[in-house]
Structure 1
Amino acid sequence: MEPFPRYFEPVSPDKASTFLLFNPPDTTEAYNPAHPNEQALDFAPASIQALAQRFKQHFSSNLWIENEHICMAFLQTLGGYVRFNYAYGREVAIIYEPKAIALRDEILAFLQKEHCRVVE
């Protein structure tokens, strides 16, 4: 097993975070046999690993660290990263600099569309 690439995460009082829980609907609930032509073309990802891969296709990251426990997508323009917690299978975190709120909002909208809800 290869070690993680080295990265530096500065401690900053300005860093902000948003935590979400991934909760995809059951595939059987998403299918409505009464209206088969009205089915959503994009079903929710079946796992948090699939969600991370969709994220990777949608956003270009500067560094991608992944193993069986965690996936972190570092985005320089975010001033932070998006963490997918594979160990628990549900937790997603956006760690960002406040100056990157527009990108954070774009990432948040993407994740909410993919069945993640903000934890308050």
Structure 2
Amino acid sequence: MYIVSEPKGLSEHHRHMLEAENAGLYPPAYIRFLQQYGEGTYRGWMNVQTPDTEVLRPFAEYGLWEHDQDSPITEQQIGECTAIGTTVDGDFLAVHPKVDGLLWLPRHAEQIQAIPLPAGGQEKDESYAMILDGIYRRMYGRSQEESVYYEPWTGTREHLFLRMPPGEGPLALTELADLCRAEAPPDLFIENPYVCYLFYRNLGGYIRLNLAGGQEVAVFYEQAAGQASAKMKEWLLSKGCEQYSWE
């Protein structure tokens, strides 16, 4: 698994929370993952977060999901859940003391789902990344084919937004991506019909090219990588990109 930037350690408060008596509520693989990598975003879709006992409390009153005899929890029990993750689409991944495994509370569906975990020692041997990949396949009916990466939330991330102006003269973003790979080979490269990511360890971040829109180029980097980001900005400007003006 490629780690985008240096992980930020958990706070003392969160370490104590994970080591408390109720720590048995959480999958061991989840605890190990948090302790090693900290909070962050896995493969661009799942935000791995420290336990949050408050965020789902109001949802017990919203009537967002249907509840019948097959539901893993009652509507009232939603408020007793502890969220341990959210997707970029707004789904919740949670645990409840009376439910074995995990709970999936979807944003765009009406049924809460229970997600079983491997029993006993098997779960201890399975990485949390593998568990998340299994959840993705279960919920979306397909696997993610791109490389596996994790983006820790460092609190020191900076960004720069550029655009490739429309017209016949400038490079297409696919051409810019190919040129970048040739002249400044990335440490990891991910591309699909919609977006291209070029990851660089010296940035502690990546370049994101919006292939679907055809114009936006964004650079995400750590504050400590100011010199490397300045060189990357200069290179992108030399290839025809323009910096966004917010005025």
Which TM-score band applies after superposition, normalised by the shorter structure? 0.7 to 0.9
2:166, 2:215 within 8 Å by CA — same for their partners in 1?
no
Q: Is the aligned partner of 1:74 residue 2:199? A: yes
Q: Does structure 1 residue 52 correspond to structure 2 residue 177?
A: yes
Is the partner of 2:147 in helix, strand or coil?
coil
Q: How does 1:19-34 map to 2 (within 5 A)?
A: 19-23=161-165, 26-27=168-169
User: 2:234 aligns to what?
Assistant: 109
- Amino acid in the other structure paired with 1:106: K
- What is the match of residue 223 of structure 2? 98
Once superposed, which parts of structure 1, at least 4 consecutive aligned residues long, lie more than 3 Å away? 24-27
Q: Distance in 2 between matches of 1:58 and 1:96?
A: 19
What SS class does the counterpart of residue 149 from structure 2 fall into?
Answer: coil
- How many residues matched? 103
CA RMSD of aligned residues (A): 1.6
Q: Is the Cα–Cα contact under 8 Å of residues 187 and 198 in structure 2 kept in the other structure? A: yes
**Alignment identity in percent?**
29
Is structure 2 residue 157 aligned with structure 1 residue 15?
yes
Residue 81 of structure 1 deviates from its aligned partner by 0.3
Aligned partner letter, 2:212: A
Structure 2, unaligned stretches of length 5 or more? Answer: 1-142
Q: Output the CA distance in 2 between the equivalents of 1:15 and 1:2.
A: 26
Structure 1, unaligned runs of 5 or more: 28-43
* Pair 1:62 & 2:187 matched: yes
Provide the secondary structure at the position in 2 that maps to 1:78.
coil
TM-score (norm 1): 0.79
Q: Which residue of 2 aligns with 1:38?
A: none
Match of 1:119? 244
SS at match of 2:206: strand
Letter matched to residue 178 of structure 2: Q
TM-score by structure 2 length? 0.40
